[in-house]
């Protein structure tokens, strides 16, 4: 081997450590670049996050707005802006959210999915601001975008808010897929229409709509309550009784709501005592039903005070509770020694006050409590979540 050839071999070998060193430096430079990038997240971002954790959403929004103002208009900045818009809306600053989202939409870079998401946010801003027509328009336009499903859900909420049950039925039927059948909701929408028809003295139409409700959800007790009312209004008392009894097979907890109508239908057929016997039978079989008051009142009409008191006393003894004790104090106040009557009145008033606070209907979903029963929870907007009988809270 000549000296020149030897050099050709030796030079690369001698340079090996240099190559290693260059690689090591290159790696160091990359790491530094990454760290530098990480450090480029503005301090305001962390301040905003911290304020959010501390539930100071106003401060968080101000910090986030400062961060956005200092950044270039790129995709990440626009994403941050969407978050800021949500924060504004959550804080009730709907005007600020609207301006922000409109500005984002005016950017020529906001296209495709990003544009659909921003429009969806703007629709929610309008809805929160009470501009429901504009919100509806946006959600309707989004039905053919990537946000279609979410937009349809928002539309369904709007139709329920507006009590536009026909549109709600149509949309909920279109939304049905897989496990999400919307059967409770659709049946209730039909019931809402049926109830309106009943109030407006159109019992035949109410009946037809209640049957539609049952076709969608055969467990819909409200449909049978409406059928009973509609049949009663048309003088078909046996049909009214049958509709009330059908509730027992669907869900006996709702029988308390049918009690008055059931008794009235029996009474109209000249069988008031049989009607009362059915109610007493229900109360004995299902002690949780809220039936004491109606049984006492009807028994008073048929059998007089002593027998009514005896019947209701037996029922309360079977399952003593606050409402029952209140009823019993009322029942027995008449036969109390006049000297102690004032005390009895006082005790009854105290129990009554306590009952007002502690015996209520309650939403099983969000625990909203009320003295009135709601088919549609005003707090969480769920259907059929209220306990059908008042309970001790």
Give the interface with Zn ion as residue ranges (CB under 5 A). Answer: 363, 365-366, 368, 377, 379-380
Query: DSSP H helical segments within the chain, as ranges?
Result: 3-39, 43-53, 57-70, 75-90, 94-106, 112-128, 132-141, 148-161, 165-175, 183-199, 203-216, 221-233, 237-251, 255-268, 272-285, 292-303, 305-318, 322-332, 338-358
Q: Which is nearer to Zn ion, 116 or 377 (CB)?
A: 377
Q: Which is nearer to Zn ion, 191 or 262 (CB)?
A: 191
Q: Which is nearer to Zn ion, 59 or 382 (CB)?
A: 382
Give the nearest distance from C-beta 196 to Zn ion in angstroms: 23
Answer whether 206's CB lies under 8 Å from 226's CB.
yes
Answer whether 231's CB lies under 8 Å from 207's CB.
yes
CA separation, residue 235 to residues 119, 146, 202, 203 (Å): 54, 53, 14, 11
Answer whether 206's CB lies under 8 Å from 197's CB.
yes
Give the nearest distance from C-beta 390 to Zn ion in angstroms: 16
Q: Which is nearer to Zn ion, 325 or 366 (CB)?
A: 366
Closest CA to 155 of 171, 173, 134: 171
Q: Which is nearer to Zn ion, 150 or 379 (CB)?
A: 379
Closest CA to 383 of 198, 235, 238, 172: 172
Q: Which is nearer to Zn ion, 110 or 188 (CB)?
A: 188
Give the nearest distance from C-beta 379 to Zn ion in angstroms: 5
Answer whether 151's CB lies under 8 Å from 145's CB.
yes
Q: What is the DSSP secondary-structure string of 293-357?
A: HHHHHHHHHHH-HHHHHHHHHHHHHHS--HHHHHHHHHHHTTTS-HHHHHHHHHHHHHHHHHHHH
Give the nearest distance from C-beta 370 to Zn ion in angstroms: 10
Q: Which is nearer to Zn ion, 229 or 384 (CB)?
A: 384
Give the nearest distance from C-beta 191 to Zn ion in angstroms: 18
Give the nearest distance from C-beta 251 to Zn ion in angstroms: 18
Give the nearest distance from C-beta 186 to Zn ion in angstroms: 19
Q: Which is nearer to Zn ion, 140 or 366 (CB)?
A: 366
| DSSP symbol at 28 | H
Give the nearest distance from C-beta 179 to Zn ion in angstroms: 21
Answer whether 185's CB lies under 8 Å from 172's CB.
yes
């Amino acid at each position: 081997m000549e000296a020149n050839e030897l050099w050709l071999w030796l030079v690369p070998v001698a340079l090996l450590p240099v190559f290693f060193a260059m690689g090591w430096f290159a790696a160091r430079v990359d790491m530094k670049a990454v760290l530098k990038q990480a450090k480029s997240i503005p301090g305001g971002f962390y301040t905003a996050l911290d304020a959010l954790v501390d539930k100071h959403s106003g401060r968080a929004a101000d910090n986030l707005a400062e961060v956005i103002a200092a950044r270039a208009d790129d995709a990440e900045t626009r994403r941050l802006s969407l978050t800021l818009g949500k924060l504004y809306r959550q804080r009730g600053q709907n005007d600020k959210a609207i301006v922000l989202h409109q500005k984002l939409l005016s950017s020529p870079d906001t296209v495709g999915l990003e544009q659909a998401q921003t429009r969806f946010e703007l629709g929610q801003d309008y809805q929160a601001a009470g501009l429901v027509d504009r919100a509806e328009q946006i959600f309707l336009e989004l039905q053919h975008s990537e946000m279609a499903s979410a937009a349809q859900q928002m539309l369904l909420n709007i139709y329920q808010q507006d009590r536009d049950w026909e549109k709600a039925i149509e949309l909920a039927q279109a939304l049905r897929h897989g496990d999400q059948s919307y059967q409770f909701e659709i049946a209730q929408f039909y019931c809402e229409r049926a109830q309106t028809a009943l109030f407006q003295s159109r019992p035949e139409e109410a009946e037809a709509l209640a049957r539609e409700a049952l076709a969608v959800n055969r467990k819909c007790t409200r449909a049978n309550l409406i059928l009973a009312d509609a049949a009663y209004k048309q003088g078909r008392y046996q049909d009214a009784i049958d509709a009330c009894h059908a509730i027992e097979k669907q869900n006996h907890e709702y029988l308390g709501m049918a009690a008055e109508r059931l008794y009235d239908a029996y009474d109209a057929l000249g069988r008031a005592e049989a009607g009362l016997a059915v109610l007493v039978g229900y109360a004995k079989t299902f002690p949780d039903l809220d039936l004491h008051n109606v049984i006492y009142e009807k028994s008073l009409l048929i059998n007089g005070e002593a027998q009514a008191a005896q019947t209701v006393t037996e029922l309360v003894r079977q399952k003593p509770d606050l409402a029952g004790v209140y009823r019993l104090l009322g029942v027995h106040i008449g036969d109390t020694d006049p000297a102690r009557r004032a005390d009895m009145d006082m005790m009854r008033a105290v129990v009554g006050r306590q009952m007002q606070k502690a015996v209520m209907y309650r939403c099983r979903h969000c625990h909203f409590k009320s003295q009135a029963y709601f088919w549609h929870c005003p707090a969480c907007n769920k259907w059929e979540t209220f306990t059908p009988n008042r309970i001790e809270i």
